Amino acid sequence: MKIIVPIEDEMIYQHFGHTPMFRLYEIEENRIIHTQEYPTSGRGHVVMCQMIFDLGATVVIAGGYGMPVQETLTSHGVRIFGGVSGNADEAVSAYLNGTLTYNANIAHHCGCHH
């Protein structure tokens, strides 16, 4: 399994579409075996979603997502967990342990033109 978390300074970035970096976690047997960071260069929501698909992630943990991002990711089978804050590594560990606190109804409307 592969998990993506938008980050800045080890912390979960709160606005998916403006994150400076993704951290990809590769998981085997319910433990992290490898991480790698990918700069987003402020490429925008569409390109960021495509990066997630290209990297093969099936789970995204973040602070907030706009509705277009939610719809794009979930329509491609990516499970999303929003409303999460704090240290990215700790959030992924909590997800793997079944203790991740998140908001299933998270959506924000940034007023951006997508």
pLDDT digits (tens, 9 = 90+) for 41-92: 766 778 889 999 999 999 999 998 888 889 999 999 999 999 999 999 999 9
CATH code, domain with 44: 3.30.420.130
The percentage of the chain sitting over the pLDDT mark of 90, rounded to a whole number, equals: 70
Confidence at residue 91, expressed as pLDDT on a 0 to 100 scale: 98
**Residue 51's Cα: distance from chain center in Å?**
11
pLDDT at residue 114 tops 50: no
* In-domain check, residue 39: yes
* In-domain check, residue 113: no
Q: Looking at the 3D structure of the chain, how many domains does it have?
A: 1
Confidence at residue 89, expressed as pLDDT on a 0 to 100 scale: 97
Domain coverage including residue 11 = 2-97
Q: Are 1 and 59 in contact (CB under 8 A)?
A: yes
Contacts of 45 (CB under 8 A, 6+ apart): 16, 17, 66, 68, 69, 72, 112, 114
* In-domain check, residue 103: no
CA–CA separation, 64 and 13 (whole Å): 8
Give pTM, 2 decimals: 0.90
Confidence at residue 100, expressed as pLDDT on a 0 to 100 scale: 97
